[in-house]
Every structure is written in structure tokens, then in C-alpha cells.
Structure 1
Amino acid sequence: MKQSVAVNKAEQHVKWTEGLKALLSKFKIKPIKLEFNTILKKLIVPILSIAAFIGIWHVGANALRQREIDFRVEKALTDQGQAAADELKACFAAKTASCQTNTLPSPSQVWSSVSTLIDDHYVIKQDKLDFINKTAAVNAKRVQAGQEPIIYTGRPSFIDIVLTSLKTVFAGFLLALFIAVPIGIVVGLSDTLRNAINWFIQVFKPVSPVVWYLLVFMIVKTLLIGSSSDNSFVISFISVGLCAMWATLVNTAMGVSSVDKDYINVAKVLKLGALQKVFKVILPSSLPLIFTGLRITLSVAWMVLIAIELLAQSPGLGLFVWEEFQNGANDSNSKIIVAMFVIGIIGFLLDRIMLIIQNAVSFNKNATA
């Protein structure tokens, strides 16, 4: 009897499974097979590594904080006596605002700074709206009279700072693209030009972003002499573009020079013009290397942007980090760590976006990180 019931259950299970497969097939839905190894590699291991990173960070931050506390208490004991040392120790234990350490912040402190920066963004956003509403009538009259409208000059929020940095890096990236790709194509088509310009590339490619900034500053301030406008954005994006364009220039020239000669011969047989040959034969064949260069250029542009914004006093992430370092407030170190994570995450996302575009327009669909 039990054996008969077990057989019936097995038959029902088989029928149910076949019915489910038929239903999925009808709606063209493929069953998902989640193997434990895949889940382990793709989900569990990354989560565990993040938890381990946060745990090590927490322990290290607390150890550094305690080291600074011990030093300061010992110094108070030596200079002022036991009573002063006990008072300072109690102050640190209470975690009051007057007794804060100036060392690596803990994960909880950084998370608190994230919340503070977000709250500040909404406060500043509301201040901007109030200012716009308050000056709307006055600005309308000024515009009618041919005068410049009154603009908001308050401090930017952290979101505004991030958007400024993104605007600067994209402007610099586009400048690098428009300079490096055409020059790379021309150089790649001619061995003579490639040999003639090689010294120029090798000399200027390793130049520091600080030096590029100084060079651009010399030129732009002379070209715009007498102008009262803020030139920090122009100087910043030109410096970023010139500093980051070399990978695209080299890869474009290499890609063009390594195009299969059979393709060039076919273009000759078809009597394609110079521009037709470039756009229909050379560029499609060179796209994988060109996009590799563009990915490197965008990464370099995002890295050097921080130093250049600091020097140019452009209101971006570079200046934000420097001002927080100079500020020395209780949460300054935490805000610097927040900026560090934002810089890293944005850099990663920019690289992924470039990879997606590369796979979309290139014949090589197997491009990976």
C-alpha cells in the first residue's frame, strides 16, 4: 500500500514538472537554474568580502583612535598631572564634541557623514529656490534693462560638487576624443608621420597633471586677459583633456596602422575615396583598440581631475577634499572618506559605461574588464 502511494506521488511529481515545463515553453520562459557554486561565487563571496572589509576597517579605526587617546592622555598626565589626565580620559569616553580624535574615522562615522551631506543638499536646494523666488521680479527687470541677473552665490551642496566634477571630466574627455582620434588616424596611416611625431608623444605623455595645469593656466589667462568671468572650469577641463588624451592617441594610431592589408586592398579595388576608406574600412577595424584607449583616457581623466580641480579652485570633488582637510572639523575626515568612495564608485561606473558602448558599436563583442 505504501509503495503504491509513493509511486502515485512520483507520477504526480513527474506530471507536475512536465506541465510546468510545457507552460514555460508556451510563454517562451526559460527555467532558471541557480546552482550553489554560482550563488557562492556571484553573491555570497562578494557580500562576505564587503563584510570583512568593513570589519577590518572598524577594528583598525578603533585601534588608531585608542592609540591617539592613549598618547594624549599620557601627555596630559606628564604635563598637567593625574587630575587633568583623568578628566581628558572621561571626556574621550563620553565622546563629546570637544574631545574628538583626528584619525581614520570608523564606518559608522562615515555613514553619519553621508546622511549629513544628503541633508545639507536638501537645505541648500531649498535656499536656492527661496533665493530664485525672492529675486525673480528684480531679475526680470534687470534682464529687460540689459543687465546681468543676480545669481545665487551660496556654497554648493555635495551633489552639486559631484555634478561639477562630472561636467568637467566629460568636457575634458570630449576634448581628448576630438584631439586624439583624428591625430591618431592621420599618424596611423603614415609611417613617416608616426616616426616624426613619436618623440612628441613619448616626451609629453608622462608629464604630471600639475604641469599641464600650469601650462594651460599660462595660455588661458593670456587669451582671456581682461575678462571678469571665472575661468576655473575652462582651465580644468582643458588640463584634464590634455593630460588624459595620450592613451587614445597611441591606441588609435596603433589600431589604424595594424588594419589588415587585405581590407586596404579591397578599398583600393572598390576605388573608395580617402574619407570613405577611413570611415568604412579603417575605423570599423580599429574600433576595439580605439575604445580601449578611450576607456583608459576616461579613467585617467577622472583620476587627474581631483588634483587639477584643487589647483584651479574649481568647485568640484578635488577642492571639496582639500577644503575638508584644511577645515579640521569633527566630521571632516569622515567627509573625505565619503568623497573617496564616491570617486571610486563613479570611476567604476564610467568604465562600465564605456565597456557597454564598446560592445554596442564594436565587432568584438567579447570585450571584458
Structure 2
Amino acid sequence: SPLMRKAFDPFVQVLKPISPLAWMPLALYTLKDSDVSGIFVIFICSVWPMLINTAFGVSAVKREWLNVASTLEVNPVRKAFQVILPAAAPTILTGMRISMGIAWLVIVAAEMLVGGTGVGYFVWNEWNNLSLTNVIFAVLLIGVVGMSLDLMFAQLQKAVTYVE
């Protein structure tokens, strides 16, 4: 809906570029729990590409397909699941792929800030212990896991892409 896009776009454009480093103190202050705050920060930083790509994918569904569904008097739920979702799936998965990359970056940053556990905490702790070898190993591990997640989403994206 163009009206919904105009209503929500300013909020998305203001919230999207805010750094995870800026969200963390606010989350810690309001949520009072470091684990929940970390999850909130990961969510708020990675939701935007998925949201924007989903809106774009749904708005790009061919008008003819929607007209055929209307002509056949397909109910709205069936039209959403059998016309719109399959047509928008490649774009939605592109957004999910980008969001996964951002989430992985933010997870590491949040673990560095909050501490306690995780690979981000491990990197920071090993840096403080001046163990550069362990830092390099952890950085490479972060890269390999990020690449693996991206490859999984790429395969899923190929599976749902329809080529005419």
C-alpha cells in the first residue's frame, strides 16, 4: 500500500542507520538484562533489510498475477500464500541473507560489549591477554561461520527463485 509505505518509511529511514553501539546502552537501561538487551540489539539492527526487501518484493508482484487471482475469486489468505509469497520469496530471502550478515556482525559486537560468553567476548578477552594468535584464529572463525551462513541462504534463495 502506498499509504502504508509513506507512513512507515520515515521511521524506517531514521532507525535503520543507528549503530548497534548506540542501541546497547538504551537496551541495557530499559531491559535491565544483558542477554535480552543483546537479542534486542541484534533484532533492531538486522530487521531493516528484511523489512525493506519484503515490502519491495510484495510490491513488485506482477499485476497480471493478482488480476488472475481476483478473477478466480481467490480469497485473500490463499492469494497471499499462493501468489504473493511465492512471487516475492526470492526478494524476501535476499533481505534475510543481508539481515543474517548484519546479525552476525552485531552478535560479535554485542558479545564484546556485554561480555561473559561468545566469540566476541573471546576476541576481546584474548586481545586484553595480548594473545594475538587466538584473536586471529577467532577472527578467521567468525569469517568462516559468516560465509557458511551466507552460502546456506544463497542455496535457499536459488531454490525459491523462478526463472521464466
TM-score, normalised relative to structure 2? 0.94
Structure 1, unaligned runs of 5 or more: 1-189, 222-230
Q: Aligned equivalents of 2:62 and 2:129: distance in 1?
A: 58
Kindly report which structure 2 residues correspond to 1:326-345, keeping only aligned pairs within 5 A, or say none.
Answer: 326-328=128-130, 332-345=131-144
Equivalent residue for 1:359?
Answer: 158
One-letter amino acid matched to 2:52: V
One-letter amino acid matched to 2:133: S
Equivalent residue for 2:9?
Answer: 198
Identity %, equivalent residues: 40
Q: Aligned equivalents of 1:314 and 1:263: distance in 2?
A: 52
Give the deviation of 1:314 after TM superposition.
Answer: 4.1
Q: Report if the CA contact (8 A) 1:255-1:290 is conserved.
A: yes
Q: Aligned equivalents of 2:9 and 2:125: distance in 1?
A: 40
Give the deviation of 1:362 after TM superposition.
Answer: 3.2
Give the deviation of 1:234 after TM superposition.
Answer: 2.3
Give the deviation of 1:304 after TM superposition.
Answer: 1.7
RMSD: 1.5
| 1:319 lines up with 2:121 in the alignment | yes
Equivalent residue for 1:80?
Answer: none
Structure 2, unaligned runs of 5 or more: none
Which protein is bigger by CA-based radius of gyration?
A: 1
Equivalent residue for 2:90?
Answer: 288
Identify which of 61, 80, 93 aligns with 1:278: 80
- Could you say if the C-alpha distance between residues 318 and 364 of structure 1 is closer, same or farther in structure 2, counting changes exceeding 3 Å? farther
Identify which of 100, 105, 109 aligns with 1:303: 105
Give the deviation of 1:347 after TM superposition.
Answer: 0.6
| 1:234 lines up with 2:33 in the alignment | no
Q: Aligned equivalents of 1:291 and 1:276: distance in 2?
A: 21
Identify which of 49, 56, 66 aligns with 1:247: 49
Query: SS where residue 149 of structure 2 aligns?
Result: helix
Residues paired across the two proteins, number: 164
Higher helix share: 2
Q: Report if the CA contact (8 A) 1:288-1:364 is conserved.
A: no
Per-residue Cα deviation, 1:31-85 (whole angstroms, up to 9, x for no partner): xxxxxxxxxxxxxxxxxxxxxxxxxxxxxxxxxxxxxxxxxxxxxxxxxxxxxxx
